Amino acid sequence: MTDGEIPKPMKSTAVALLFFYILAGCNLQAFSQVNTLQLDATIPLPNVLGRIDHMAFDSRRQYVYIACLGNNSVEVIDLKNNKAVRSVKGLKEPQGVVYLPETNTILATNGYNGECDFIYADSYTKIKTIKLTDDADNVRYDSIGKKIYVGFGTGGMAVIDAVTLMPLTEIKLSGHPETFQIDKRAHKIYVNIPFQKQIEVIDLGINIVSGIWKLKEAASNFAMSLDETNHRLFIGCRLPAKLLVLDTETGKTISSLDSDSDVDDVYYDRRTKQVYMSCGSGFLDVFQQTDANTYKAIGKIATHSGARTSLFIPEMNKLVIASPAGFSAHAFLLIYNIIPLPN
């Protein structure tokens, strides 16, 4: 080593730091804190490994149920005391979960074997299983019609009675359904079919697909939320990373906005008129609805890499984001309070 030469270990460290600051600078240029969301608590999930999928809220207990696909469990979180209270094991890659107040049960849908497991919420014992062909995925509960809808397989939507827990019918789709939303006013379901780059519209009066909306601005449409009042559908896409706003009466795209990558959940908050997108790239993106036709990005909050699934709880004015275990950290939940906007 000659005079003035930087030792190799120091040189490597300097290059690594320079690379880090370049990346950080790119993030910081796009980063801004959103004043309507404030981190309230971080709840550790030290025994949860692997991918974390979707979540559901039990308003009776103020519990959050988490489908932990990689851990083959549903984790039970007490939001009143900000702590984990139970791990329901023995599942097979749970992807979706919902709480059914009529029967006081938790429904977990399993991707590995297509089983829909009904678990009694007081004892956490399995009381019934409905077997679908395979890959039981996203699930929604219609509190008005007392029906459960489960997307599954290479193109199906199962309909289950929420009171008797008996299967009613199956609706044929053109491909595997990802997230979907029930429009109670229009008596329809809008379903993301990402591998066909389209949204399929189910008419619940006749239980068949009555419309298909092809997406042109982006593909890999995995996330979805609904504004029933303004007839707007919010679609989170991954290729390229965008938020699309569609008119539910025509299927036409009203707005297309850039977002962070690897979105898995999107929510519309009627109170704040904001849209929240949880992205696996490590950000929560926030957009503002000015009116039914006008939207803009208003900022983002840094979360953690891989934290792409979330749950909006309007009853508690909270947004919950799940962060899976990483190389040096265990899994945890980030709990955000949503602060009312000033009048």
Give the tens place of pLDDT for each residue, 206-218.
999 999 999 999 9
User: What is the identity of the amino acid at 66?
Assistant: I
pLDDT at 54 (0 to 100) = 98
Which ranges in 36-91 belong to alpha helices (H)?
Answer: none
The β-bridge partners of 327 are none
Distance separating alpha carbons of residues 17 and 21, to the nearest angstrom: 6
The residue ranges of the chain whose pLDDT is under 50 are 1-31
Q: Which residue do the tokens 């679908």 mark?
A: 132
Q: 165 in helix, strand or coil?
A: coil
Sheet holding 167-172, edge to edge: 139-142, 147-152, 156-161, 167-172
Let me know the angle formed at the C-alpha of 238 by 201 and 191, rounded to the nearest 5 degrees.
15
Q: Which residues touch 221 (CB under 8 Å, ≥6 apart)?
A: 178, 192, 193, 194, 197, 198, 199, 215, 235, 236, 237, 244
pLDDT at 19 (0 to 100) = 36
Distance separating alpha carbons of residues 304 and 282, to the nearest angstrom: 4
Note whether 258 and 288 are within 8 A (CB).
Answer: no
Which ranges in the chain belong to alpha helices (H)?
Answer: 8-30
pLDDT at 342 (0 to 100) = 64
pLDDT at 309 (0 to 100) = 98
Positive/negative CA dihedral, 27, 30, 35, 36:
negative
Distance separating alpha carbons of residues 41 and 63, to the nearest angstrom: 15
pLDDT at 149 (0 to 100) = 98
pLDDT at 263 (0 to 100) = 98
pTM of the model: 0.90
Sheet holding 232-239, edge to edge: 219-227, 232-239, 241-247, 253-258
pLDDT at 32 (0 to 100) = 58
pLDDT at 117 (0 to 100) = 98
Distance separating alpha carbons of residues 110 and 137, to the nearest angstrom: 7
pLDDT at 3 (0 to 100) = 39
Distance separating alpha carbons of residues 288 and 268, to the nearest angstrom: 10
Note whether 105 and 125 are within 8 A (CB).
Answer: no
pLDDT at 33 (0 to 100) = 62
Question: CATH fold of 33-338, please?
Answer: Methylamine Dehydrogenase; Chain H (2.130.10)
Q: What are phi and psi of 263, to 5 degrees?
A: -70, 145
